[in-house]
Amino acid sequence: MGEQRLNLPADFEFGVATASYQIEGAVHEDGRGPSIWDTFSHTPGKVVHGDTGDVACDHYHRYAEDVALMADLGVDSYRLSLAWPRIQPDGKGPAEPRGLAFYDRVVDALLEHGIQPAVTLYHWDLPQPLEDAGGWRVRDTAERFADYVEIAQEALGDRVTRWITINEPFCSSILGYATGRHAPGAREGDGALAAAHHLLLGHGLAVQRIRAAAAHRAQVGATLNLQPVSAVSDREQDRAAADRALLLSNLLFTDPVLAGRYPQLARSTYAALTDFGWLRDGDLEITGLPLDFLGVNYYFPSRVRAAPYQVEDPASRTADDLGYEDVVDSDEERTAMGWPVDADGLRRLLRWLHDSYPQLPPVYITENGRACDDVVAANGHVHDPDRMRYLENHLRAVADATAEGVDVRGYYCWSLLDNFEWAEGYAKRFGIVYVDYETQQRIPKSSFEWYQRVIRDHRRAAAS
């Protein structure tokens, strides 16, 4: 593996990504307030094995060791997220200096090693008091988010120049407020669509605040998780089902952010569920502010067929109940998450973005990776050839997309460490570094060494 060169642009950046609740632990330390994920993970039956982020990878205390690992890996950039409840324990009001001091230390340690921080401001750990006041269903949360972003930018903006406002608003809104699989675990129609809108509004308000303070020094973008979507057949009902799937997984987010509009299909599809009463004049100018980059998270494509709605009455449906289901063929390779493996799907997705949005800014792949059933062998090594192959093929798909004219500037592997995989708890391992949760020992997997080589080889080739 890795013998044939990856034809990526010379200045292409390589990185790794994590998120606060998934790795930090130390949930009661230094004034941190509770987040919706603390509440959710402590609710019986919500997370596999009742796992919580209470300790996670103990990164709060071991960040120096983790930064040293990244330095050894040789990445250009590290995508981390800030825990809002560390910075504003109640979701509003004055900053908690001890929380900010932690991120100061992390950012300084990264810069000392020549690693550029890419900071996500919201990776799902909403302060619980804000959820109690309505959460993302209410507009006030977007305003509170903008205030928090201003605090973060003031504290770190002298050193952080790449900001990602929100991570995967699809998951926060649809998994959080429609399917109930993620915190806060609600199952709603209009509430979930309002949540999606307020997340995007919060994103736009955050862009304004960062630009006001940082002028040109900062690059600002949002990260969306997107899928190439197709129908299993040419049957009219399957094609219509694929249109609805595309709406929910992509267009509901890409259209407001990249084109400042909601698609007509959103209005017709959700007519019985919502009157779009949460949409105010001027909002779409804010959600659609031009960005310095778009972050794209890709894991797998969506192939759908028409299926019965879960609920008969259109007005009582949850926002995800759109009369389709995903199909995976029995002979398709799947990851430990059950997700199908399709590297070319990343190329197709990037092409779709490029062809659909003339205003598409440069793209960073801000997450890509796979879960494997990793085990520590008797010799102490963790050999993960399936992950290496997955990462290599996806990097090749990025190279193919750039050859087709899509401006992709970098790639962040998900994830540096095995970590708390949300509703799956610690059962699913995505890291290129294995974490023994009993001892907190870190063991770089073979994919770590592979990625190290890829980065080194790319640099050499670019320099020659």
Comparison of 95 and 371: residue with beta carbon closer to ligand FCB: 371
Nearest-approach distance from CB 27 to ligand FCB, in angstroms:
17
For residues 203 and 212, the answer to whether their CB atoms sit within 8 Å is: no
Active site residue 168: yes
Choices 164-172, 230-238, 242-250, 315-323 (CB under 6 A): range interacting with ligand FCB: 164-172
DSSP codes joined into one string, 441-458: EEEE-HHHHHHHHHHHHH
Is residue 96 within the footprint of ligand FCB (CB under 6 A)? no
Residue 154: Cβ within 10 Å count: 14
Long-range CB contact pairs, 49-54, < 8 A, 24+:
49/425, 49/426, 49/427, 50/425, 51/420, 51/425, 51/426, 51/427, 52/420, 53/21, 53/22, 53/24, 53/25, 53/27, 53/420, 54/25, 54/27
Name residue 431's amino acid.
Answer: G
Comparison of 223 and 274: residue with beta carbon closer to ligand FCB: 223
- Annotated catalytic residue within 96, 367, 392, 421: 367
Choices 102-110, 167-175, 186-194, 377-385 (CB under 6 A): range interacting with ligand FCB: 167-175
The number of residues making up the chain comes to 464
- Annotated catalytic residue within 24, 131, 150, 168: 168
Q: Which of residues 201-230 bind ligand FCB (CB under 6 A)?
A: 225
Diameter of the chain by CA atoms? 64
Alpha-carbon distance 125 to 116, whole Å? 23
Which residue in the set 38, 168, 190, 283 belongs to the binding site for ligand FCB (CB under 6 A)? 168
Is residue 374 within the footprint of ligand FCB (CB under 6 A)? no
Comparison of 131 and 418: residue with beta carbon closer to ligand FCB: 418
Give the contacts of 448 (CB within 8 A, at least 6 positions apart).
73, 432, 433
Nearest-approach distance from CB 16 to ligand FCB, in angstroms:
12
How many residues at the interface with ligand FCB, by CB under 6 A?
Answer: 12
Is residue 320 within the footprint of ligand FCB (CB under 6 A)? no
Choices 151-159, 166-174, 182-190, 197-205 (CB under 6 A): range interacting with ligand FCB: 166-174
Active site residue 392: no
Alpha-carbon distance 4 to 377, whole Å? 29
Is residue 19 within the footprint of ligand FCB (CB under 6 A)? yes
Residue 90: Cβ within 10 Å count: 15
Which residue in the set 150, 367, 384, 418 belongs to the binding site for ligand FCB (CB under 6 A)? 367
What is the phi/psi pair of residue 382, to 5°? -120, 110
Which residue in the set 1, 68, 171, 328 belongs to the binding site for ligand FCB (CB under 6 A)? 171
Three-class DSSP category at 101? helix
Is residue 430 within the footprint of ligand FCB (CB under 6 A)? yes
The strand order across the sheet containing 324-326 reads 229-231, 302-306, 324-326
Is residue 418 within the footprint of ligand FCB (CB under 6 A)? no
Is residue 422 within the footprint of ligand FCB (CB under 6 A)? yes
Comparison of 102 and 414: residue with beta carbon closer to ligand FCB: 414
Alpha-carbon distance 23 to 437, whole Å? 11
Catalytic residues, which ones?
Answer: 168, 367
User: Which positions lie near ligand FCB, rule CB under 6 A?
Assistant: 19, 22, 167-168, 171, 225, 297, 367, 414, 421-422, 430
